[in-house]
Amino acid sequence: MMQMSARWVYLSALALSAVFASAQAGEAEVRAGLAKLLPDAKPDRVAESEVSGLYEVVIGPQILYMSKDGKYLVQGRILDVAGRKDLTEEKQAAARKKAVDAVGEDKMVIFAPKQYRHTVTVFTDIECGYCRKLHGEMQAYQDEGIRVRYLFFPRAGLGSGAYKEAVAVWCADDRQKAMTDAKAGKEIPMKTCDNPVVEHMEMGELIGVSGTPAMVLDDGELLPGYVPAKRLAAMFDAKKKGN
């Protein structure tokens, strides 16, 4: 009996060793294939996905999939049919949150009540109508215990009027007042200085922002468009209950 048990342990160890070696080989081929296709990319993580033969590659806030032999790259989502879950979004939300938080609050324009329960990060364009609507209801968000962190995303791009206004808001002596005045259509001093506007724009593009406002919730979920304060608070509360 002891001999059979020892033999079973030995064979199990060999099997586990083979699995581990196979996983390592697969990861190496994936990294090599990725380096050929995207030489400037530095993956944060490469690991086997839920689908056999497909590896998950995390690069900042982006999640890609690559075949085990490193020959094929897949951009898309993995859906758990039985569980009715988007497995990619769950992981991408966490990566998105990490990437946005890494910008640092010292590079954001923040409107916060004295006490808050939730934080939403908003990519905003000063000239966008719904961005102005959202900002005009800032007190309502604060009344719901929601802190708003602004990142700039002038949709017209570098050198546009919205871009110059974003820089001017950042360079103002009072950024909150300048933001409020600019969104109300008032003229503000067009100052320039070192600023994070381009960094904000690049981050927005990386996480998939295509319009403004775009909201990143405190769990990393990305919501395109304007969401009224009470509805946003209800969404936060529902998420909290779900956890």
121 and 222 inside one domain: yes
Is residue 15 in a domain? no
Residue 48: enclosing H or E segment and its boundaries?
strand 45-48
* pLDDT recorded at residue 153: 97
- For range 185-193, the mean pLDDT: 95
Last residue of a domain, one of 37, 68, 90: 90
- For range 28-48, the mean pLDDT: 84
Residues with a catalytic annotation lie at: 125, 128, 131, 155
Residue 7 binned pLDDT confidence (cut-offs 50, 70, 90): low
Is residue 85 in a domain? yes
234 and 165 inside one domain: yes
Is residue 107 in a domain? yes
Residue 24 binned pLDDT confidence (cut-offs 50, 70, 90): low
Please report the sign of the dihedral spanned by the C-alpha atoms of residue 143, residue 207, residue 96, residue 92.
positive
- For range 208-236, the mean pLDDT: 94
Is residue 2 in a domain? no
* Structural domain span for residue 72: 20-90
- For range 3-12, the mean pLDDT: 47
| Of 218, 217, 214, 195, nearest in space to 204 by CA | 214
Total domain count for the chain? 2
210 and 114 inside one domain: yes
Contacts of 172 (CB under 8 A, 6+ apart): 178, 188, 189, 191
Contacts of 236 (CB under 8 A, 6+ apart): 117, 118, 146, 217, 218
Q: Is the pLDDT of residue 172 over 70?
A: yes
113 and 64 inside one domain: no
Q: Is the pLDDT of residue 227 over 90?
A: yes
- The predicted-structure confidence for 73-122, as pLDDT tens digits, reads as follows 888 888 888 888 888 888 889 889 999 999 999 999 999 999 999 999 99
- For range 57-71, the mean pLDDT: 87
234 and 137 inside one domain: yes
Last residue of a domain, one of 90, 112, 133: 90
118 and 78 inside one domain: no
* pLDDT recorded at residue 12: 42
* pLDDT recorded at residue 68: 87
Count the neighbouring beta carbons within 10 Å of the beta carbon of residue 39. 7
109 and 84 inside one domain: no
Give 42 or 16, the one with higher predicted confidence.
42
CATH of the domain at 143: 3.40.30.10
CATH of the domain at 40: 3.10.450.70
Is residue 59 in a domain? yes
pTM: 0.79
Contacts of 58 (CB under 8 A, 6+ apart): 43, 44, 45, 46, 91, 95
44 and 136 inside one domain: no
Last residue of a domain, one of 90, 121, 145: 90
114 and 50 inside one domain: no
Query: With pLDDT > 90 as the criterion, what percentage of the chain qualifies?
Result: 57
Distance CA 119, CA 144 (A): 11
- For range 156-181, the mean pLDDT: 96
Question: Looking at 5-14, 178-187, 212-221, 226-235, which range is the least confident one?
Answer: 5-14
* pLDDT recorded at residue 9: 44
Is residue 5 in a domain? no
